[in-house]
Every structure is written in C-alpha cells, then in structure tokens.
Amino acid sequence: MDDFSLIFTHSPLFIIYYPLFMMTLTIYNSLTRSKEPFIPIEADKVLMYCCGITVYDYCHLGHARTCLIWDVVRRYLEWLGYAVAYVQNFTDIDDKILNRARAEGTSMEAVADRFIEAYFEDMERLYVRQADAYPRATHTLDGIKRLVYELEQKGFAYEADGDVYYAVSSFPEYGKLSGRKLEDMQVGASGRLEEEEAARKKAPFDFALWKSSKPGEPAWHSPWGAGRPGWHIECSAMVREKLGETIDIHVGGSDLIFPHHENEIAQSEAATGKPLANYWLHNGMVKVEGEKMSKSLGNFITIRELLDKFHPMAVRLFILQAHYRKPVDFTDEALMAATNGWHTLEEGLLFGYNYGEKLGWNLSDFRSENLRDSLREEKFKTAVDDDFNFPAGLSILFEIAKDLRKEGNILLHQGKTETDLGELEKQWHTLIRLANVLGFVIEITEEVKEEESLSDEEIEALIVQRTAARKTKNFQESDRLRDELQAQGITIIDQAGGVTIWHR
C-alpha cells in the first residue's frame, strides 16, 4: 500500500471545501442496477479508478466526456471532504498501437509516448486535472504476470500453446455486471473467433490473459513463453498495484461494461476472493449530429478540433448539462447554446473583479464562513448528492449568475444598487466556490497595461471635453472621444440631465 500512501501525500490541495455531512450522497451502482448510499471503505478517503485510453490516436469527443465527467466527480467528492486517490491508466500494448507503428515505420513505444503527450495537452486545454497516478501496462508487467499465475494456480486459467485463457465457466458469478448469461454468449460465439484461436480454447467465450508472441511484435518473458498481456488483465493488475484489492469506485464509459469490466471482475475477484469495487459507475455514450461517431461516417472529431471551434468552458458546460448516465449529442447548435450559457456564468464570476474593489470587498478570502450563501450551497449539495446530478447543480449556479448580472447592469447604469452589498458579496463568493467544484475557471487579464491606462483625472478631463463637444453639436469630436475612452477599456453612460458616468 505504499503507492496508496504516496498518492494521498501528494494530492492537490487547491480545491476549496467545507467538511460536510458525508452520508447523504447516493449513486447509481451499475453492479446492482440501483441507487445506493455511498459508504466508502474508509470514512474520509475514496479509492477511485478510471479505465483510461488506448494510446494509438488523438483523443476524441467520447474521451472528452469520460475524462471531464470523472474529473468533476472527483472534485465534488473532494468538496464533500474526502481525500480522493484517483488513478487512470494508459493502455500502451494493443493491436491498434502495433498497426499504427507498422504503418509509420516506428515502434509501439514511440506511438504510445506521442499520444500520451497529446493526451496531456488535450486535458490541459479542457482544464481536466491530472490523476494522482497514470500506470501503464508496460510498467505493470510483473504484476500482470503474477496475477495470471495466481489464476492458473487456482484453476481459473489454463495454458494452451503459449497462450493463457481465463476459463469463464469456472467463475459462477460471471455476467453479474452486464447481466449476460453464459448460455446466451455461447450462441454464435465460435463464428467470431479465428479458427486457430478457437481450437485452443476450451470454450468460445474464454478470453486471453496472456498472448504468445508473434513475429515482429514486442514480447516479454513469462512462465508460458515470450508474449504480451491481454487487455483485460492489465486493468486488474494496475488497480491492485496502485490502490489495493478492493476499491470504492470504478468508473468508465458504458461501452466498457462488457466485456472489459465484466472480465476485470472475473479476474480480480477469482484471484482475491474479494470485491474488486463496491461501486461501478458508467457514463453514457456520445453521438455527433445524431449519428454514432466513426471515421467511416466522416464525423470523427478530436478534442483539439473541438477546442479550436469552442471555448473549453462552453464544452464543459455542454457536457455537464446532461446527466452523466445519459447519451449526449454533440451538435454545433447545442455547443453555441452552451457558449451563450457560459457567457452568463462568466459575467457572474467576473462580478466581484469588476465591482468588488469599489464596493470594498475582499476578493481573495474564499474560505471565510461569513461569505457563504449557506442556503444555496445546501441546495447545490442536495441536488448533486442525487447520483451526481450536475445539471440540477448547474441551475443553482445560473440562479446566482443571473442575479449578479442584473446587479452589475444596475451598478453600471446607476452607479449604485439598493441590494445589500454584504449579501451580494456572499452570492459572488458562493458562485466562485461552486463553479470551482464543477471545474469552471475564468481568466483575469488586464486588457490595458497599467502604465498605459488613463488615470481617473485624465478620464474626467476627456469626459468634460466630450460633453463640451456634444453641447456645440460637434458629434464627430464627441464620437472620437468616446471611442478613445472605449479603446482604453472605459465604458461611459449618458444619463438624464446631461450627466455622464463612467466605468473601467
């Protein structure tokens, strides 16, 4: 468990949370097909594993949704007060990686390294936090071989001409995650197998734990001869090595329920006699303009292509507006609507930075108990505690953002507001905190360098000049002065009675 301790020691601390009552969170468990109260193995810690990507190409929209959803689940658990050890793997041994390496005249390792680097670039643009650990299959070979050996010794696996297969019929609970039955899988299974492989298997639904080497492919020494691991055994070994024999939450896309997660359960639980994970969570699939995304349909969109068209916070908002278990359809119209929604949230988040200094606010004390809208925080928590209902939680953020936008317009045009400034400050601080839970960030930039900006006296002088020009009906000069002020980031508002107010 040394890796486990190391993960907690080095977990990021920038997420701001308050210790909240932890026993109200309920989540939909794919294993039991029902909502259950979340009770972790240890009271204040959560062990969480996400099946990551196979690194043979750039990440696409499906990866964007999966990685972003579980990023926010992790953030929310931390906000509740849990210390979360979050592990996400890379599959860097796979036929697709080998095929790409052959096509490019390079190595499997070179292809994997290139697309792992691209993965981190894409996740940084999406503002997805890094996991606490990223194990790779090639770095877990000793653990993989040890697990295969244990399964063989216990009678759950058998060797055949250098291959090792898992004997599915030896695990009575096989199918408990997916709901599939062996008799259903038997029908037609042999027709999908290569004739040579089918001859080596005892049953058509048995799956490979270890594959004997083929000419020109990377291989590693093992008790069964040179070869490489099967896909499913990799995650079982990586979970065990990084987090232990039983974890709290195992997550991934719903397309992994069968066969990948079903096989993980069979492997791990046969070896240890313990549950692999107490809660299994799966996010829904992605479509593009109503169609399943595929290269053959010409609608295959990478994350970097998406972010070249849309703001990352708009993408985050679009993904969080749908419940994580439901399918989602990426369309330009939907993402444009999400962009407009992000502008609303952004206005609310910028409220304190635009007006707070003049109102005498503390712009940095986000931990203060005195600057909390407790009622709205509790409403947010109640909403999201229902199986990570982020769409319902978002509605609370929009309530606050719209209220602040309204107050901003009043302050801008009237120079004051009748609303209690202390309550406004609480609302803004609360919006900042809750937005942080969902991973929304704003970039505060100075559009005009301080040494180049106008002083208050210079602004007042230009406004006096503009007022004089308007009185003499010199509208060309009046417009020029207005444009000069706007270029310096100054908004001017003409009010009744010839009064002009301004705002940076």
The verdict on whether omega for the bond into residue 259 sits within 30 degrees of 0, i.e. cis, is: yes
**Among 277, 262, 240, which residue's Cα sits nearest to residue 150?**
240
Least confident of 344-348, 378-382, 434-438, 472-476: 472-476
**pLDDT above 70: residue 22:** no
Confidence band (pLDDT; 50, 70, 90) for 157?
very high
How much of the chain, in percent, has pLDDT values that exceed 70?
89
The string of pLDDT tens digits covering residues 242-300 is: 999 999 999 999 999 999 999 999 999 999 999 999 999 999 999 998 888 877 777 88
The residues spanned by each domain of the chain are 2-309, 332-437, 450-503
Q: Is the dihedral of CA 497, 499, 500, 501 positive or negative?
A: negative
Fold for the domain defined by 2-309: Rossmann fold (3.40.50)
pLDDT at 18: 40
Distance CA(252)–CA(66), nearest Å, equals: 7
The string of pLDDT tens digits covering residues 398-409 is: 999 999 999 988
pLDDT at 240: 98
Record the tokens describing residue 209, joined without a space: 């734990």
Confidence band (pLDDT; 50, 70, 90) for 169?
very high
- Phi, psi for residue 277 in degrees, rounded to 5: -145, 145
In DSSP terms, 493 is beta-bridged to 501
Fold for the domain defined by 332-437: Four Helix Bundle (Hemerythrin (Met), subunit A) (1.20.120)
What is the average pLDDT across 415-436?
A: 91
How much of the chain, in percent, has pLDDT values that exceed 90?
69
CB contact at 8 A, 432 and 366: yes
User: Does residue 271 sit in helix, strand or coil?
Assistant: helix
- CA distance from start to end of the chain: 55
Distance CA(224)–CA(201), nearest Å, equals: 16
Name the more confident of 56 and 464: 56
Residues recorded for the chain? 504
The verdict on whether omega for the bond into residue 391 sits within 30 degrees of 0, i.e. cis, is: no
Distance CA(44)–CA(32), nearest Å, equals: 24
In DSSP terms, 351 is beta-bridged to none
